[in-house]
Chains A and B, each alone.
Chain A
Amino acid sequence: MNALRDGIGGFARETIKTFKLLARNKMGLFGFVMTLVIVLLSFVGPIIWQPETSANVADINQGPSEKHFLGTDFQGQDNLRKVINGGKDIVITAFLTGIIATLLAVTVGAFSAFVGGRVDSALMELVNIWMTIPKFPLLAVIATVIKLNDPVTLSLLMAFLDWPGLSRQVRAQVLSLKKRDYIEAATMLDLGTRQIIFREILPNMMSFIAVSTIFTMTFAIYQQTGLVFLGIVPYSGANWGVMISAAERRGVLYTAAASWSIIAPIGAIVLFQLALISFARSLEEVFNPRLRTSV
C-alpha cells in the first residue's frame, strides 16, 4: 500500500513539476491548453451541442451575430456548432498517425543504429529513396484505389508513408547518444542492449520523439484535410475538411457574405496546428534542462 501511495504521490509531484515548467513558457502553455480544449470540445462537445439536421432557410450565409458567434453556412446552420462537431475525426487521425509513425520510426531507426554495418547502410539507403518520393501525390493516388472511409485505415496509410524521415533522425540521435560517456559506461558494465536502449537512450530522446510526433501530427492534419479538399476521400458527415471543401465548392470564396462558413473551419485547423506546434516547442524545454536555464 505504501509503495502505491508513494507511487501516486511521486507521479502527482512529477506532473505538478511538469506543469510548472510548462507554465513558465507562455506560448507552450497556450499550446497545451488549446490542444486540450480542442480535444475535449471535439469529443464532449457533440454530446452537448448535437449537430443540426434540418436547414434554416431564413438564416442562410450570415455573418457573426449574438445568436451565431461564427455566422451560418449555406444551409443556415450554425458554423460554431458544425466546427465543434467536425473535430473528432481530425483529432483521432492526427494522434493515430503521429503515434504509429513514431513507433515505426523509433523501431527502425534505433535498430539500424544498433546493428550498424551493411544492414544499417542498406536500411538508410531505402529510407533516403523513400524520402524522395512525393508523399502527398502518392497518398492521393493510392486513396483513389483503396477505400479510405474510416480514420484508422487512413492513419495507417499516412503513418506508413511518413515514418522514414523521422527514422533517419532517430538513427542519428541514437548514434550520437551511443558515443556519450554514460552509455559507454553502461556498455562496459554489460547492462544488456535492452536495458541500454530503454533505460539510458530512449529517456534522453523523449523530447525529440515527442516533438517529432507532434510535427507528424500537423502534417497528418494537412494531408487528411487536403484529401477531402481534393474530393478523393468521401468522408461522411461533417469534419473541418468537409466543411472547407463544401464551402469552396459553393463559391464561398467569391461572396463576402458567406465567407464565415469557410473562415470557421480554417480557423479551427490553423488553431489546432498552431497549438500543437507551440506545445511541441515548449515540450523541448520541459524535457531538456539545458534549454530551460537559458530562458
Chain B
Amino acid sequence: MAVTSQTQPQTFSLLARIERITSNYVLRRIVKAMFTIWVVVTITFFVVRAMPGNAVDILIQDLTAQGFSADEALNQAASLMGIDLNQPAHEQYLDYLANVVRGDFGKSYRSRGLNVADMIAQVLPWTLFSVGLSLAITFIIGIALGALIAYARDTWFDHLISNIAATLDAVSPYLIGLLAILLLGVTWKIIPFSEMRGALSPGIQPEFSLEFFADAFSHVKVLLLVYVLASVGSWILIMKSNTIATLGEDYVTAARARGLSDFRILTAYVGRNATLPLFTRLAISIGFAVGGSLLLERLFAYRGVGFLLADSLGNRDYPVMQGVFLVITFAVVFSNLIADFLYGWLDPRIRIAGGGN
C-alpha cells in the first residue's frame, strides 16, 4: 500500500510534465514554424520538380536547345539542381529535403560555377539591413503620428494626416518608388540615381568605419524613404483607431478620475494597450516588405535578395530562384516567430490562452 501511494504522485507528475511540454507556448510555436517551412519546401519541390512543365523540365529543354544531347542535358540539370533525376519521385523529394536542411541549394545556371547558397549569403545582409531599418522607422513614426491624431481627433491636422495615410496605403509600393525616382531624380534633380546603384560604391569595403556607414546609408536612403512611405499609412490608421478605442476604456477614465497626469496616462495606460495588437501586424508586414523588396530592389538596383530573385526570375535561373525564395520564406517565418515571442512576452494573456487550448 505504502509503495503504490508513493509511485502514484510520481506518474502524475510525469504526465503533468509531458502535458506541460506539449502545451508549452514556445515549443508549440517552434513546431509550427518548422511545419510552415516544411510546407514551403514541399510547395517549392512541386514547382521545381513535380508539376507538369516544372522548372527542371524547362531547364532540360533549354539545355537541349543549346546543343546538349538529351543525356547531357539531364545530367547538367541534375548537377545544377543537386538532385538525382533517375531516382523515383519520392526519393528525389527526400534528397531535396536533405539538401535544403544542409543549406545546399545547388549551383547557378546562368552564373556558371557559383554556389547558390554563397550568392545568397552575399546579398542577404543588405536586405535585412534595409528592411529591418525601414520597419523600425515605420513602426515608430506610425505609432507616434497615429496616437497624436487620435488625441487631436477631428482637427484639420487629423484630417490632413488621415487622408495622406489613406492615400499612401492605397498606392502600390513600387509606384511610390517610380514616382520618387521621377521627382527626386528627374524633376528636382536632387539625387543622382545612376551613381546609387548597388548597396555600396565601388572600392568601399565593409568595415567598421564612418566612411562605410555613410556610403551604405547614402545608397539605401531613397529605398528606405519609399519603404516607409509605402507602409506608414496603414500603421497610422490602425494606431489611430486602436488609440481611440483605448481612450474609451473604463480604466482610462478611472486613471483620469484619480488625477494622473496626461503624460502618465498616455505612456502607461493608452500607449501600451493601443500598441500591443500592432506587434502581430509587425509580423505580417515583414512578409509584405520582403515581398515588396522584389520590386523595389530591382527598381533601385539595390543588390539584396529581392534584386537577386528578380534577376533570376528574369533569366529563368531556377536553382537561384528556388534558393532565394526558400531563404526569403525562412527569414519571414523566423521573424514571425520572434514577433510572436515578443508579443507573448509583452502580453501574458496570449501565453496563457495559447497554452490552455
Contacts and interface: CB of A to CB of B under 8 A. Distances in A.
Interface in A134-179: 134-138, 140-142, 144-146
A274 B171 contact: yes
Given A273-B170, A274-B170, A277-B170, A131 B193 contact: no
From A134, A138, A146, A225, residue with most partner B Cβ within 10 Å: A134
Interface in B43-75: 43-44, 47, 51, 53-55, 58
Interface in B253-301: 283-284, 287-288, 290-292, 294-295, 298-299
Given A133-B329, A134-B329, A273 B309 contact: no
A60 interface: no
Contacts of B193: 253-254
B47 A142 contact: yes
Nearest to B292: A136
From B169, B171, B172, B328, residue with most partner A Cβ within 10 Å: B172
Say whether chain A's binding surface is mostly helix, strand, loop, or mixed.
helix
Say whether chain B's binding surface is mostly helix, strand, loop, or mixed.
helix
B333 interface: yes
Contacts of A232: 313-314
B178 A244 contact: yes
B329 A256 contact: no
Given A138-B325, A145-B54, A270-B175, A230 B290 contact: no
B336 A141 contact: no
Interface of A: 121, 125, 128-129, 131-138, 140-142, 144-146, 218, 221-222, 225-226, 229-232, 244, 248, 253-256, 259, 262-263, 266, 269-270, 273-274, 276-278, 281
A145 B51 contact: yes
Contact of A140 (B35, B43, B55, B313): B313
A198 to B, nearest CB: 30
Nearest to B51: A145
Given A137-B309, A140-B309, A255-B186, A222 B290 contact: no
A184 B10 CA distance: 47
Contacts of A266: 175, 178-179
A134 B172 contact: no
B167 interface: yes
Contacts of B287: 131-135
Contacts of B179: 266
A225 B295 CA distance: 11
A131 B181 contact: no
Contact of B172 (A128, A140, A144, A222): A222
Contact of A145 (B55, B181, B182, B185): B55
Nearest to B169: A277
Given A255-B186, A269-B175, A277-B169, A129 B321 contact: no
A128 B333 CA distance: 11
Given A244-B178, A253-B178, A254-B186, A134 B47 contact: no
Nearest to B291: A136
Nearest to B172: A222
B287 to A, nearest CB: 5
A255 B186 CA distance: 7
A230 B294 contact: yes
Given A266-B179, A277-B170, A281-B166, A256 B187 contact: yes
B186 A218 contact: no
Contacts, number: 134
A141 B58 CA distance: 13
A273 B294 CA distance: 21
Interface in B180-201: 181-182, 185-187, 193-194
B120 interface: no
A144 B43 contact: no
Given A135-B291, A136-B292, A140-B309, A125 B32 contact: yes
Given A132-B333, A253-B186, A141 B174 contact: no
Given A145-B47, A230-B310, 15 more contacts: A129-B35, A133-B332, A134-B332, A145-B55, A229-B174, A230-B298, A230-B313, A244-B178, A248-B299, A253-B186, A253-B193, A262-B182, A266-B179, A273-B172, A277-B169
B263 to A, nearest CB: 29
B258 to A, nearest CB: 30
Contacts of B175: 266, 269-270
Contacts of B32: 125, 128-129
A141 B186 contact: no
A134 B53 contact: no
Contacts of A128: 32
Contacts of B167: 274
14 contacts: A132-B336, A133-B36, A134-B288, A135-B287, A137-B324, A137-B328, A138-B43, A142-B47, A145-B58, A146-B53, A232-B313, A253-B186, A256-B186, A259-B182
Contact of A144 (B174, B288, B295, B313): B313
Contact of A221 (B51, B55, B172): B172
B40 interface: yes
Contact of B325 (A141, A254, A276, A281): A141
A262 B51 CA distance: 37
B5 interface: no
